[in-house]
C-alpha cells in the first residue's frame, strides 16, 4: 500500500505551534509520506496538515499526533480553498506559500520562479530600471523610497565594484514576513537580488540576517548553494556571489547605513548622509540596500511587467503589501 502524502509546514512559527511534535511523531511512519512545505501564514490554525483531495488540497487544523487515523481516513477535513483566512486574499509575492517545498528548485521553476530573471537577462540595465520605474515600486522597509531612483543612481555611478545588500535584520515587534520569505521561498529573494545586480552592474551581494533567525539563515545558505550549483548565480559568464551574514544583535543595525557599518566589522552607527549608499555604500562603493520583501516583489514585476504592478494598490503606493497581524482578536 502506498503511503499517504501529507503536507506539513517547516516554518519556525508553525514548528513552535506544534509542528515539530507532529514531524517527530510521524516522520518514520510507513503509512505516511511527510512533505515539508512553507507556511500559508495562518499560524492560528497551526499545526495545519494538508493532503491532496479530488478537488484540491484539504486541511486539518490544530492537529495533534493522535489525529493521524482521522487524517488518513479523510475524516473531518476542510477544503483549503474554503478557509476564510485565505479566500479573502489575493497573493502574488506569497503565492507559493504553503504549496511548494522551500528548497526545491524544480518546484520554484514550475510555479513561475526565475521567469523575472530570464526576462532581465534579455534586457539592458537601462530597460530593467525603466520597468521598475513603470511599476512605481516603493521600498517596503518603511521609508517607501522609489526603488528605481536608487537603482538608477547606483547604475550610473562609476566604480570598479558594486554591491547588493538585503536588509533582513527584521527587528520591529510583530514583524515576520521577511523571515517567512527567507525560510519559505528563499529563491525569490535570490532572484530579486540577481535582477538588481544585473541592473546596476554589481558583482557581489550580502544578506544581513537577524541573529535570532538561524533557520532562515540556514535555509538561505542552502538555497544559494543549490542555485550556484545549478548555474543560476550570474549572467554572461559573470558570477554573482551572495553571502549570508548573521546580524550583530543591535536594533539600530536595521537602519541601512548602520547595517553597512556592521558588515564592515565596525559598531553599528548611523552614517551621516549624503553621500547615500547608492553613491557610496559598502566599502565606499555604490550599494543598493533594500529589505527582503522589496527584493521579493521584483521578480513578478519583471515577469509580468511594470504596468501590471502599477495597476494595483493606490495612487501613492502601487502594488500589494503584506499585513502581519499578532495578538488575540
Instruction: Assess whether pLDDT exceeds 90 at residue 315.
Output: no
Is-same-fold flag (4-87; 105-310)? no
Burial zone of 19 (CB within 10 Å; 0-12 exposed, 13-18 middle, 19+ buried): buried
Q: CATH topology for 105-310?
A: Rossmann fold (3.40.50)
Q: Is the pTM of this model over 0.85?
A: yes
Place of cell 516603493: 138
Q: Which residue has the higher pLDDT, 153 or 141?
A: 153
Cis peptide before 275 (omega within 30 of 0): yes
The Cα–Cα gap between 202 and 317 comes to: 28
Residue-wise pLDDT for 185-234, tens only, equals 999 999 999 999 999 999 999 999 999 999 999 999 999 999 999 999 98
Q: Backbone phi, then psi, for 215, in 5-degree steps?
A: -70, -40
Question: What pLDDT was estimated at residue 236?
Answer: 79
Angle of helix 292-304 versus helix 177-184 axis, rounded to 10? 60
Q: How is residue 101 written as a grid cell?
A: 517545498
Residue-wise pLDDT for 249-265, tens only, equals 788 888 899 999 999 99
Is residue 52 within a helix (H) or strand (E), and if so which, with residue range?
A: strand 49-53
List strand residue ranges (DSSP E) for 114-199, in order: 163-168
Residue-wise pLDDT for 275-308, tens only, equals 999 999 999 999 999 999 999 999 999 999 999 9
List strand residue ranges (DSSP E) for 234-317, in order: 234-235, 238-239, 241-246, 287-291
Q: How is residue 198 written as a grid cell?
A: 544585473
Beta bridge mates, 4: 32
Residue-wise pLDDT for 34-82, tens only, equals 999 999 999 999 999 999 999 999 999 999 999 999 999 999 999 999 9
Architecture of the 4-87 domain:
3-Layer(aba) Sandwich (3.40)
> Is the separation of the CB atoms in 7 and 97 below 8 Å?
no
The Cα–Cα gap between 9 and 199 comes to: 35
> Is the separation of the CB atoms in 11 and 183 below 8 Å?
yes
Residue-wise pLDDT for 84-124, tens only, equals 999 988 899 999 999 999 999 999 999 999 999 999 999 99
Instruction: Assess whether pLDDT exceeds 80 at residue 328.
Output: no
Domain boundaries, the chain: 4-87, 105-310
Question: What pLDDT was estimated at residue 329?
Answer: 55
Parallel/antiparallel/unpaired status of strands 204-209 and 241-246? parallel
Amino acid at each position: 500500500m502506498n503511503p499517504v502524502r501529507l503536507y506539513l509546514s517547516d516554518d519556525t512559527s508553525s514548528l513552535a505551534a506544534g509542528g515539530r511534535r507532529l514531524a517527530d511523531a510521524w516522520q518514520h511512519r510507513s503509512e505516511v509520506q511527510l512533505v515539508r512545505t512553507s507556511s500559508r501564514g495562518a499560524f492560528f490554525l497551526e499545526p495545519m496538515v494538508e493532503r491532496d483531495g479530488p478537488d484540491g488540497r484539504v486541511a486539518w487544523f490544530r492537529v495533534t499526533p493522535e489525529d493521524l487515523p482521522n487524517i488518513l481516513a479523510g475524516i473531518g477535513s476542510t477544503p483549503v480553498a474554503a478557509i476564510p483566512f485565505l479566500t479573502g486574499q489575493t497573493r502574488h509575492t506569497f503565492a507559493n506559500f504553503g504549496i511548494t517545498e522551500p528548497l526545491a528548485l524544480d518546484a520554484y521553476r514550475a510555479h513561475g520562479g526565475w521567469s523575472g530573471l530570464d526576462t532581465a537577462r534579455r534586457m539592458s540595465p537601462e530597460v530593467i530600471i525603466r520597468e521598475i520605474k513603470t511599476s512605481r515600486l516603493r521600498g517596503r522597509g518603511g521609508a517607501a523610497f522609489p526603488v528605481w531612483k536608487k537603482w538608477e543612481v547606483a547604475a550610473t555611478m562609476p566604480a570598479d565594484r558594486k554591491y547588493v545588500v538585503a536588509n533582513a535584520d527584521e527587528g520591529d515587534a510583530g514583524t515576520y514576513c521577511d523571515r517567512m520569505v527567507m525560510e519559505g521561498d528563499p529563491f525569490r529573494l535570490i532572484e530579486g537580488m540577481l535582477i538588481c545586480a544585473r541592473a546596476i552592474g554589481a558583482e557581489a551581494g550580502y544578506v544581513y540576517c537577524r541573529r535570532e533567525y538561524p533557520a532562515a539563515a540556514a535555509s538561505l545558505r542552502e538555497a544559494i548553494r543549490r542555485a550556484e550549483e545549478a548555474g543560476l548565480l550570474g549572467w554572461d559568464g559573470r558570477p554573482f556571489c551572495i553571502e549570508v551574514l548573521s546580524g550583530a544583535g543591535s536594533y539600530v543595525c536595521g537602519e541601512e547605513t548602520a547595517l553597512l557599518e556592521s558588515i564592515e566589522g565596525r559598531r553599528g552607527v548611523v552614517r551621516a548622509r549624503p553621500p547615500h549608499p547608492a553613491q557610496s555604500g559598502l566599502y565606499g562603493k555604490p550599494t543598493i540596500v533594500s529589505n527582503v520583501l522589496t527584493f521579493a516583489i521584483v521578480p513578478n514585476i519583471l515577469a509580468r511587467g511594470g504596468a501590471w504592478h502599477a495597476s494595483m494598490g493606490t495612487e501613492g503606493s502601487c502594488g500589494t503589501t503584506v499585513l502581519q497581524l499578532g495578538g488575540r482578536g
